[in-house]
């Protein structure tokens, strides 16, 4: 069963492995890119389920205000 704690444990272990092999800078970069992917996946998931309005999102990125 994938619980939040189990996923957190896996992420922490992967972060530690990257840190050991490549150093702290690479580990931070990996964590940052993972965070961007997490947000991107949430937006895509929201668009697919209809929780996020695509038109509003487009206007937000273009700098328009409603």
Cα four-point dihedral sign 29, 34, 35, 36: positive
* pLDDT 10s digits, 18-32: 888 989 888 888 888
Query: Between 24 and 1, whose confidence is greater?
Result: 24
* pLDDT 10s digits, 5-62: 777 778 888 888 888 898 988 888 888 888 888 787 777 778 788 787 878 777 877 8
Q: Which of 12, 15, 11 is nearest to 28 (CA)?
A: 15
Query: What number is the average pLDDT over the span 59-66?
Result: 73
């Amino acid at each position: 069963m994938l619980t939040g704690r189990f996923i957190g444990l896996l992420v922490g272990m992967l972060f530690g492995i990257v840190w050991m092999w490549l150093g702290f800078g690479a580990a931070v970069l990996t964590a940052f890119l993972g965070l961007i992917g997490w947000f991107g996946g949430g937006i895509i998931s929201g668009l697919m389920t209809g929780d996020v309005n695509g038109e509003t999102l487009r206007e937000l990125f273009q700098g328009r205000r409603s």
